[in-house]
A and B are shown apart, each in its own frame.
Chain A
Amino acid sequence: MLVQVPGGWNPLLGRLAIDQIPYTNPILAPLFVAVVIGAVIILGLITYYHKWGYLWKEWLTTVDHKKLGVMYIILGLVMLFRGFIDGLMIRTQQVWANGPQSSGVFGAVHGYLTPFHFGQVYSAHGLIMILLAATPLLVGFMNIIVPLQVGARDMAYPYLNALGLWITAAAVALIMISLFVGDFAHNGWFGYAPIFELQYSPGVGVDYWIWTLELTALGTTLGGINLIATIVKMRAPGMTWFRLPIFTWASLSANIIALTSFPALQVALFLVACDRYLGSHFFTAGFGGNLMLYTNLFWIWGHPEVYFVILPAFGMMSEIFPAFSEKPLFGYITMVAASFAIAGVSWLVWLHHFFTMGAGPDVNSFFSVATMLVGIPTGVKVFNWAFTMYRGRITYTAAMLWAIGALFLLLVGGLTGMMLAIPAINYMVHNSVFVIAHFHSMLLVIVYAIFGSVLFWFPKVFGFKLDEFWAKTMFWLFSAGSVLVFVPMYMLGFMGQTRRLDYVFNTAWHPYLVTEEIGIAVYCLSVAAFFVLLYVSIRDRVKNRVGQDAWGTSRSLEWLTHSPVPFYNFAVTPHVNARDELAWRRHNGINEAQPTQYVDIHMPNNTGVAIYIGALTFVLGFALTWRMWWLCLLSLVAIIALMIVRSWRGDPGYIITAAELEKMEREAMQRQQQVEGHLPHHGGQAVPGGAMAYEGQKVSPLGTPPSSGGDHH
């Protein structure tokens, strides 16, 4: 049944042997040493400060959607950094290996990366950025915000939520370990048939790629189920469909895409695995296989996936614009309709990724027109945002700057997408760096929206604001970097530079490549600004503490509970009376009203099972990659056994009694009172809306609503 692999194999270690560890590689070996030292220091510090118990109890076994969301986001940020380093390496190679005269080191004829190593770097870069950076970041935000926005205590399935996180973490671990054990795929992030077949890629790289993708697909599918169920089933009373906050709508449309499209990816990759492990002929060049079948299956997932990542970003922008324009979102219903239109059309356009397959004029025309249709709902969104800002009382907070930046990028990316959607143009620029510049504009929309959201929702999750000055510094540096990298890239695309070049023959392009490299340097500065931002904000956290409604102008339900959000979210389930509930309450002067009576609430218990299963999926992926059959079987059996044990035990949950709840609420209220006493003195410049909203207000004692309202109209 199983195919014979080239090279050694033994029953115990599979293909793993000492020569698979690149200890002589001049780049990887020092990196490995650095990672080991870093890990030892971190683990040492945790042990020294006796934090293992805390870590295990509060984070690793948690089923709290906010903590899981925070971990998703941290994971995403770490991978964003790793992906950025990959990008830096790619750019450096191209500016170095330019022209026949260019020098070469570390065994490369030109530049410092051999073609094989370069191929691994760009493959990892793409895969990481889309699936292990953008996706976890967005899923993390959806995790934190959606249950709060619908007024729920947690996600519909808290345990499944933890499972999704740990499976995603396993995928991250798998791709990270491929740095030091064996190598990674060199077939691009989306892979080509038949290059990934065993004859042409005999190493383990492609196998790492397959199992990393399979694990993320699994994690994201589980997360998608959970989010849809949360939105459908967990809404607070009064939260009718058309009162649903717009970010929640966006999450719903995005997760419907995820749920229906990820299986296509899972199957595509599974069939590649069948080819490589069982010797089947799905995508082989002979024996009746079909090369383009793979490309079709991949992009049937791939295009919906790009909308899966952009729709939540649109949702984030739709929350940020109204809050800092002090106006309700313009065209709420059309915004919802546009999200679903985009989600629907995203299924009908996959072929635009390979017009050059040559399917003929009728097929290409169909997909061309379908692709351009996406522009209509997207245009609706852009105009809605513009009209939201129009005549609004705009505050240029850093979050707002990121959102506005995203809007500009969307314009650039969308219009170049339209150009690519015309087959006649596409034949000219397909597989050129013009395409790369297009989708980086688009993915930058997501990155901008995410940084905007980090700033916007950070005070909700942690109870204090991030420093505005450094956030803005970071924004401008990042934007300068984006312009410097991607404007020359568009130009080079027109001049004919194809993508993925490990050696750039044309020396006339040198100035452009240098400009891009300068852009990378500016990006590095913005990364540094980000670290300073974190440092300064944490240092000044006492000064920057906020109350429930951190910005004073926010609109939806998540701002109705304390900041940071207590683990039970809402002491009493809010009853929703309006779209933009908080804005409505503020407008009517009842935003500070507190519940008068508490009842017991039922909460889920923490569990270690999720992280154990996550770890086992990592072992399974690793064993499959290295073909250690006994370990595959063992980990699979262990996973199933754990699932059975968990199902046997169930989770009775535990009760927070009304008395405990009241005590915790009273304490939170007192903390808040202290904070709000300070507020007018701080951040007054940066967020006048925020400061003014608190003016002349006293936090009412439990029960009695305050006499005067917050909105300053």
Chain B
Amino acid sequence: MKKMIWSIAWKNIWRNRVRSLVVIVAVVLGIMGGMLMIGFMNGLIEQRIDASIHNEISHVQIHEPEFMNNEEIEYTINNYDKIKNILDTLNGVVAYTARSKTFAMVQSDWSTTGLVIKGVNLEKEKQVSDLSNFIIEGDFLENESRLPSIVIGSKAAEELKLLNYQIEDNKMAAIDSLQIPAETTAKLDSLPLKRYRTEKQFSKALAAVLNEHEMKQFGKQLINYFSFYRLGAKVTVTISDTAQIMVPITFRVTGIYKTSNDMFDGMTAFVLENAVLKETGFGKDFIHEIAILTTNNEEGVLVAKELQRSLPNYSVLSWKQIAPDLAYMSDMMEFMDFIYVGIIMLALAFGIINTMLMAVLERAKELGMLMAIGMNKMRVFSMIMLESVFLTLTGAIVGMGASALIFALLARSGINLSMWSEGFEAMGYSAIIYPVVSAGNYINIILLVILTGILASIWPARKALKMNPAEALRTE
């Protein structure tokens, strides 16, 4: 019996092809819009979370509990050897590393800024963190000269005025590659071959020789082209030693990194662990932080719980606790996906209700006949409900197929937002988004679509059930 009603419902949809197709196309477009939106948002958030985990915070961090309240350098982890033993045997741990972490004033010849100095073990650090892949100038602590090396972020370099601007002969010689009209580039010859320490100064100098239109069109490009980091510059890092006396240590900037998070880039510097130890007199247990990489994000939360149990005297935090904003985003993501599709389906529901209402009213006589010959209310209701669900589901399946196709095409190239990337990167998001849609998203959408189909059929179905078969059959 059920099969028959399903088949009647499916066939009924195609009685008014054009009208049904209009609804189906609307659902297809709505679902595609929703899916692309979800894919985009999920991609954005997942990339942000992954970038944070792999460049900045890793999955799990261990600290001395006091260090969490008060980041003083004396709160070190003293049992590293014991913790190492646990980590070496714990399931889910991919790699780990220990770091010293001190807040210090950093001074270049031109400016001063406060930075978190992480003393790292190069080999282990590279297993846990991807940061060494984000070096844009120099290298990641690979080479040591007479002075110890320090790697800083691009933003910190700017603050320290180590990002300079200068019209140089060799750059002028190759300026054709910018594809800027020669008459514009010719004007640059009149600029003094002077070094500018800030973007503002250089921009002002450019504005003096270029007209407003040229500035607007080529200004940014020229500023970028003539900019350079002063790799090899000396900076003085002031750290307090064992006796609480401030010790200045001179480092040479040997690398600049740039991640998609400007805030991190402006805050964090890296040196080799022994570089700090040598000058401050701290022992080999000068460790404030153990960072752990696990097999995946969910595993990180479990590993953190497990570790806290075996290390009750330490603070063990998962990435969700270290960066509650990320955890919140990750948790909200699924909920928001529901909301987007929910709103779209709500809008579509009105179209579906309208179509189903027309379908019911124009078939009044036929429905009257069906009830007269013995089709009960349950069956009439199911038939109309199934029509509505089929109509919606057909559109949804086509829409999801089309979206899946688009995602497959975008999987390689991503969606490039570099046009607006400056703003995005300032907020910690990357410029190329790879849309992500999970199987869970598809299942949720299907459920939501079926629910919409059912809800949209209630009113039309009630209209049908209220009909009196005798009267329905009488009307001409």
Q: Is the A/B pair a real complex?
A: no
- Residues of chain B whose beta carbon lies under 8 Å from any beta carbon of chain A: none
Residues of A at under 8 Å CB distance from B?
Answer: none
